[in-house]
Chains A and B, each alone.
Chain A
Amino acid sequence: MLWSLPPAGGGPATVTATARMDYVRPLRRSNGMMISVRDLRKQFGSTTAVDGLSFEVQRGEVVGFLGPNGAGKTTTIRVLTCFHPASSGDVRVAGFDVRTQPLEVRKNIGYLPENVPLYPDLRVEEYLRYRAALKGVPRKQRQSNVERAMERAGVLDVRNKLVGHVSRGYRQRTGLADAMVANPPILILDEPTSGLDPNQRRRIKALVKELAQEHTILFSSHILAEVQDVSSRILVIHRGRMRADGTADQLVAQSTERALMVEAHAPAAALQQALVALPFLRGATAEDVGDGIARLRAQVDPLGDPRDATMAALAQRGIVVRELRLDMPTLEEFFYRVTEGADRAEEGVA
């Protein structure tokens, strides 16, 4: 099942990004389309890692690339960064073809690989100066770019430490500083928060939000809360295929799995009888939970708010309500439904 929605038009990130675009390296031939992937396929031997993936990322967007482990996120990202060639399909980054213009593509991206492989024998600042030079930052600007990247990534206090000796969080941030040191218009971050503690994760999230003001960002993750917080749009991929594309709210709203929970001072049978006639409740089941209290759960149609009508029906029968709650679906449920849930449904059909 494919949940296809129009891309979110003009979130806050888009507005600020255009306002400060002068900071970013000038682009050619991109027409505001920073990443465009059409029918991308990537095979490793007999295994298909990416199977006909298509999506686009507009200038200024922050796109969360979501999927379970092994969904094909890293493979897609490696095709975008010209590390792996695509088996087939048309992939353009900043208007350049990854197949025929890989150098131009690489000039326009800052990339943070998943495990942040850095050179352990260099000092943090040394490493960043080397990377800035390698990425073609002119000698005069190099030091200021490195200073700025270190400051933004928060690695100034470890600048003289060996990369091999700093903690995982600092390594991750050194990798981020590396990604932004040449001020590329596009940042591609592969699981930027994996392996970090909650505080470090929060800092990285804040940094990504800040970077979103000047860069187009594609970042992958399997932590939903993170993606929901940071990104203006979410792509969900599973088994190498696109499963959903839209803002977090849009995706959640699409989900039909809303549930109503009622707890009342009445026998289970009476509670069920009181509500069974309501047309918008489906599959209502009540059970006694002791102390003369019964609990009822029912599925609710996606549209409208069922709470007032339910309350009225209960009041009519003189049932004293202890709690009435509408459980909103979460992105997590949606994620489960379009990934593993979808697999189970398919297997069930087959």
Chain B
Amino acid sequence: MKGAMVTLQKELMSYFYSPVSYLIAVLFYLWRGFEVFGAVQMFSSFKLDQDLFPSACYGLTSTFFMVLLVPGVLTMRCFAEERRSGSIEMLMTAPVRDVEVVLGKWLAAVAFYSLLWMPTVVLLWALSLPPFLGTDLAFGPVVSAYVGMFLLSSMLLAFGCFASSLTDNLLLAAISAILFNLGLLKLPDLLRQELGESAKGYYMEQLLSKLDVMGNFAQWWARGLVDTSQIWFYAGGTMFFLFLTTLSFSARRVA
């Protein structure tokens, strides 16, 4: 797994060198700052239950921005850029296993994405100070919400890597990933409406509830509830897409 660590380091370095990363960060923090400020004003003026604050944060548009757009944009370069520039030849003729390269690139994406979220912790802490909410935020829901976001983003980033491995066109990679994310956000509701009664069966209900990622956030993670079946769903999805990415990457050798 040494190759994975080396790839992780290099890819992380590339994220920090890329202007796109800073653009995303600036956009997200500005937007988030305004939105959270608005939410705080609402909570303090209506004296709402503080425990609901994390789940309110998950309903913010900036969260959707991070779930819908950012994973695809972060991972679009991963393999598509290597193929476009031809550097994939250097990578594939170096003595590393394909799975190590895939893991390294995905880990770097996960690490950078998680780093993007980190400053929002500071935001939450600052909010608990007297001029704002004035009370301590409940620790549990905050932690579980971050864990949930980490699990979900791992899967979305794994899909982003997969989309990137299919093409040498960055835009196409990003758009495919965004469409997938959009599908996850919208599909469960649409399916429930379309299927009507037939969606009420046990397995169908289970599948739809797992797919309904944002609904799960509001109901479970953001309220401090950890559902192990959801953990398995995200971990399984992540592994599945990483497996597909490795297959797709290795398939270059056959062509």
Pair A131/B94 contact, Cβ less than 8 Å: yes
Give the residues in chain A near B92, CB-CB below 8 Å: 82-83
Pair A113/B86 contact, Cβ less than 8 Å: yes
Mark out the residues of chain A between 174 and 216 whose CB falls within 8 Å of any chain B CB in the assembled complex. Answer: 178
Pair A82/B7 contact, Cβ less than 8 Å: no
Nearest first, the 8 closest Cβ-Cβ pairs linking A and B are: A117-B86, A106-B95, A117-B87, A133-B6, A107-B95, A81-B93, A130-B10, A121-B17
Shortest CB distance A195–B (Å)? 14
Q: Does A287 contact B (CB under 8 A)?
A: no
Shortest CB distance B23–A (Å)? 15
Pair B95/A117 contact, Cβ less than 8 Å: no
Could you list which residues of chain B lie within 8 angstroms of chain A, going by C-beta atoms? 2-3, 6-7, 9-10, 13-14, 17-18, 85-90, 92-97, 253-255
Give the residues in chain A near B14, CB-CB below 8 Å: 119, 121-122
Mark out the residues of chain A between 112 and 167 whose CB falls within 8 Å of any chain B CB in the assembled complex. Answer: 113, 115, 117-122, 126, 130-131, 133-136
Q: Does A85 contact B (CB under 8 A)?
A: yes
Indicate the size class of the contact surface on chain A.
20 to 34
Q: Which residue of B lies closest to A106 (CB)?
A: B95
A119–B86 CA distance with the chains assembled, in angstroms:
10
A121–B96 CA distance with the chains assembled, in angstroms:
22
Pair A134/B93 contact, Cβ less than 8 Å: no
Give the residues in chain B near A81, CB-CB below 8 Å: 93
A122–B9 CA distance with the chains assembled, in angstroms:
12
A320–B58 CA distance with the chains assembled, in angstroms:
103
Give the residues in chain B near A113, CB-CB below 8 Å: 86, 89-90, 93
Give the residues in chain B near A111, CB-CB below 8 Å: 90, 93
Contact of A82 among B2, B6, B10, B253 (CB under 8 A): B253
Give the residues in chain B near A118, CB-CB below 8 Å: 87, 90
Given A117-B85, A122-B13, A130-B6, is A136 in contact with B93 using a C-beta cutoff of 8 Å?
A: no
How many A-B contacts if CB must be within 8 Å?
67
A83–B92 CA distance with the chains assembled, in angstroms:
6
Mark out the residues of chain A between 274 and 324 whose CB falls within 8 Å of any chain B CB in the assembled complex. Answer: none
Pair B18/A121 contact, Cβ less than 8 Å: yes
Give the residues in chain B near A107, CB-CB below 8 Å: 95
Shortest CB distance B117–A (Å)? 24
A78–B252 CA distance with the chains assembled, in angstroms:
12
Q: Does A103 contact B (CB under 8 A)?
A: yes
Shortest CB distance B66–A (Å)? 24
Q: Which residue of A lies closest to B92 (CB)?
A: A83
Shortest CB distance A93–B (Å)? 11
Give the residues in chain A near B254, CB-CB below 8 Å: 85
Pairs across A and B, CB under 8 Å, 25 listed: A82-B93, A84-B255, A103-B97, A106-B93, A106-B94, A106-B95, A111-B93, A113-B90, A113-B93, A117-B89, A119-B10, A120-B85, A121-B17, A126-B13, A131-B90, A131-B94, A133-B6, A133-B9, A134-B3, A134-B6, A134-B7, A134-B10, A134-B94, A136-B2, A136-B95
Q: Which residue of B lies closest to A178 (CB)?
A: B90
Given A134-B6, A136-B2, is A119 in contact with B93 using a C-beta cutoff of 8 Å?
A: no
Shortest CB distance A1–B (Å)? 33
Pair B13/A83 contact, Cβ less than 8 Å: no
Pair A83/B89 contact, Cβ less than 8 Å: yes
Shortest CB distance B186–A (Å)? 35
Give the residues in chain B near A109, CB-CB below 8 Å: 93
Given A83-B253, A126-B13, is A134 in contact with B96 using a C-beta cutoff of 8 Å?
A: yes
A136–B4 CA distance with the chains assembled, in angstroms:
11
Shortest CB distance B118–A (Å)? 23
Q: Bits for A245-280, please: 1 = Cβ < 8 Å to B, else 0.
A: 000000000000000000000000000000000000
Q: Bits for A91-110, please: 1 = Cβ < 8 Å to B, else 0.
A: 00000000000010011010
Q: Which residue of B lies closest to A136 (CB)?
A: B95
Give the residues in chain A near B6, CB-CB below 8 Å: 130, 133-134
